[in-house]
Chain A
Amino acid sequence: MGSIYALAALGFNIIYNATGIINFAQGEFVMLGAMLMAYFAAVLKLPLLLAFIVVVLLVACVGLILERGCIHPLKNPSILVLVMITIAASILLKGVTMFIAGKEVHGMEYFSGENTVVDMGGAKVPTQTFWILGVLGVVVCGLVIFFNLTLAGKAMRACAFDRTAASLMGIPTKRMVMFSFFLSAAIGGMAGAVIVPISMADYQSGAMFGIKGFGAAVFGGLGNNFGAVSAGLILGILEALTAGYLSSHYKDALPLAVLLLVLFVKPSGLFGSEAAGRLKKF
């Protein structure tokens, strides 16, 4: 579960870095990924890999359309307006999904077969867990390579750091914003597609993914990807511990309570400091 929050948090960060806004539709990307995956893999019975690729591309396109249709046409929008737009987009996505897919909960079997588990020192770990960790690992490695070794990735970091200077280099900053939506929607879609066998999904599960992912992003220091991954995993573990030792009724509440506490004590997040905020590096 923590990996999913980490992935959602990465999505928040990428858009935050490129535009300075919080995309409240990020959770909806995860939900869409989950719903589409359940549809393609369980209903249409497409091969897993093909279904996964199609889902990720579709969700990425939704992100792209959102940016092209709602963000791009505005000339000099204020941050508040942009945030409102993403909230509206999230409600819209929810509504459309409900209209098309209905209100039922959708799920599918694990990627490695129905309810398969691996015995690890007495603990039964669902095989899907490894798929989720694997996807997180691949995404993190991919992002590290992209942001540190490719010109486009460096250009995106330059945009995040200083937009005016980036445009003076001839970097098309608006296209970078578009790409950031594409990328974070794709990551959201991936998260949804791997989580659906475990948590199932309906049209309104996006909110929970969104809130927890946002929590992880803030917890780890907004804009800091290393922080996002660590904080996502920590939140996931806290949640599991709460469910195990206290009661599963509190499993959603405790991590958020901890989040609040962290924000009261250290508002810049666990790994975000003023200096690190300026010198942010993946």
Chain B
Amino acid sequence: MLRIQNIRSFYGNLLVLKNLSLHINEGEIVTLIGANGSGKSTLLKSIMGLLPPRQGLIVFQDKDITHLRTEKIVRLGIALVPEGRHIFAPLSVQDNLLLGSYSRYSFRNKSEVMADFDRIFDLFPHLVKKRKQLAGTLSGGEQQMLAIGRALMSRPRILLLDEPSMGLAPIIVEDIFAKITKLRSEEKTTILLVEQNAEMALDISDRGYVLETGKIVFQGPREDLLENAEIKRAYLGK
């Protein structure tokens, strides 16, 4: 569904992604693990067109999206929940969700968008009571739910999540991971999960990739990653 071939991305003159390739099949949950500065967020930025790669190819559903503008990529059905959530703090919860539907909002499908509000509130019942509140006043966990809900409002075929567990209490992380699993089983959303919290992320994934200094150094089904001695030591703390 999403295929990344030999991309090279730079920050200025600094080569961050070195001939990186990976692919995600429809309906999969794929986890990407790697240390700080290994290029995980850079990869997501490259996919979204925020930092287009200088070389290589990104193909989504047989369409070359390597050099498309971000808003076009969103329109095609890729959504990113960015690291640090990036919700619109001065706007209400409801307006945040509404903006999430910007790419497909029009007079004609207004009712469809309204129905999606209910979908999101079903998934995250926490947010219902707070829909009129300013997003900046929510707790960290609620902001993360809002960020995911907002991304879902564009009805993505594939959802990219950048460190959804960052800075959250373990119990909330569990809740959010449960929601991610539910998304895949109920809405058939394909998911690419980028996580430091490698064990939890791998538990809900089908496959995983390990990224080290801009290169994929290991890939395989969940079990292979969980049982690999090297990965256990470096990422799973065992």
Residues of A that sit less than 8 Å from B by CB? 151, 154-155, 157-158, 161-162, 164-173, 278-281
Q: Does B165 contact A (CB under 8 A)?
A: no
Residues of B that sit less than 8 Å from A by CB? 48, 50, 69-71, 74-75, 79-80, 82, 86-91, 95, 98-100, 102-105, 134, 136, 150-151, 154
Which residues from B are CB-within-8-Å of A166?
88, 99
| A168–B82 alpha-carbon span in the complex (Å) | 9
- Picked from B50, B100, B134, the residue with its CB within 8 Å of the CB of A164 is B50
Which residues from B are CB-within-8-Å of A281?
90
| A151–B91 alpha-carbon span in the complex (Å) | 12
Q: Which 9 A-B pairs have the closest CB atoms?
A: A170-B103, A170-B74, A165-B86, A167-B70, A170-B71, A279-B90, A158-B88, A172-B71, A169-B102
- Picked from B69, B88, B98, B151, the residue with its CB within 8 Å of the CB of A162 is B88
Which residues from B are CB-within-8-Å of A278?
89-90, 136
A279 close to B80 (CB less than 8 A): no
Main secondary structure of the interface of A (DSSP, over half): helix
A171 close to B102 (CB less than 8 A): yes
B91 close to A158 (CB less than 8 A): yes
Can you list 7 A-B pairs with a CB-CB distance of less than 8 A? A151-B99, A164-B86, A168-B79, A168-B86, A169-B150, A170-B154, A278-B136
| A62–B100 alpha-carbon span in the complex (Å) | 32
Q: In the complex where A164-B50, A165-B82 touch, is A171 in contact with B88 (Cβ < 8 A)?
A: no
| A168–B70 alpha-carbon span in the complex (Å) | 7
Q: In the complex where A168-B70, A170-B74, A278-B136 touch, is A155 in contact with B86 (Cβ < 8 A)?
A: no
A161 close to B90 (CB less than 8 A): yes
Shortest Cβ gap from B48 to chain A (Å): 7
B89 close to A165 (CB less than 8 A): no
Q: In the complex where A154-B95, A154-B99 touch, is A167 in contact with B90 (Cβ < 8 A)?
A: no
B88 close to A165 (CB less than 8 A): yes
